[in-house]
Amino acid sequence: MSRVKINGKEQEIDLPVSVIELIRKNNVKQPETVSVQLNGSFVLPENYSEALVLEGDEIDFLYFMGGGSKC
């Protein structure tokens, strides 16, 4: 087992693992709308299956929300 940090929390997982596998293993809700940062850089969705997560990596699953206020 290896350690990575996912959304700021350490997690032990078997590596190597692709970003898409990590999304599935973490039961990410609405995976089609999530953005992924790997060590501070965004991974394009078309690269999720090729981008590998390695020991010590930091991954963030991000959701961007629209909206605003009436003035």
Residue 68 lies in a domain: no
**pTM of the full structure:** 0.85
Residues 2-47 have pLDDT tens digits of: 999 999 999 999 999 999 999 999 999 888 899 999 999 999 999 9
Residue 38 lies in a domain: yes
The pLDDT assigned to 12 comes to: 95
Number of domains comprising the chain: 1
Going across the sheet that includes 41-43, the strands are 9-13, 2-6, 58-62, 35-38, 41-43
The pLDDT assigned to 18 comes to: 97
Q: Which domain holds residue 40?
A: 2-62
Residue 17 lies in a domain: yes
Residue 25 lies in a domain: yes
Residue 53 sits in a domain whose CATH number is 3.10.20.30
Q: List CB contacts of 9: < 8 A, sequence separation 6 or more.
A: none
The secondary structure element, H or E, covering residue 19 is helix 19-25
Residues 48-65 have pLDDT tens digits of: 999 999 999 999 999 887
